Amino acid sequence: MMLAAAATLLGVAWALDLQGWADMGLRPSQSPQGATVAALLSWQGLFVLVSAIMGLYALARLARGYVRAGQPATFEVIGLFIAYGAAQGAFAAALPRLFPGS
């Protein structure tokens, strides 16, 4: 359940960042900074999509009774991927804010 919740929070954070940049009026065709932000958001969107699929996979395994305490490798890998996606997303969100364009 924690993996699915983490994947959901990752998606919410991505959506908020996407909405924030859209509200500022920054478009990919208007400036190099807009293109960079769009590329970073697209890259993070890929991680969000894969994390969501992995979270649903974890829930499906749990619902079908395929979870064993002695074999946590699948859930450890999913947790590591979601943690990496969150760290990568934080970096991608901070990068254009630390080095703003003109």
d(CA 51, CA 74): 13
At 102, the pLDDT band (50, 70, 90 cuts) reads low
Q: What are the residue boundaries of the structural domains of the chain, listed by start?
A: 2-98
Show Cβ contacts of residue 96 under 8 Å, excluding neighbours closer than 6 positions.
33, 36, 37, 40
The candidate with the shortest Cα–Cα distance to 13, out of 65, 84, 95, 90, is 90
CA distances (Å), 19 to each of 38, 64, 102, in order?
12, 36, 21
CA distances (Å), 81 to each of 20, 39, 49, 50, 99, in order?
25, 20, 12, 9, 27
pLDDT, tens digit, for every residue of 35-93? 888 899 899 999 999 999 998 898 898 899 888 878 788 889 999 999 999 999 899 88
The encoded tokens of residue 35 equal: 């293109």
33: pLDDT strictly greater than 80: yes
pTM, two decimals, is 0.79
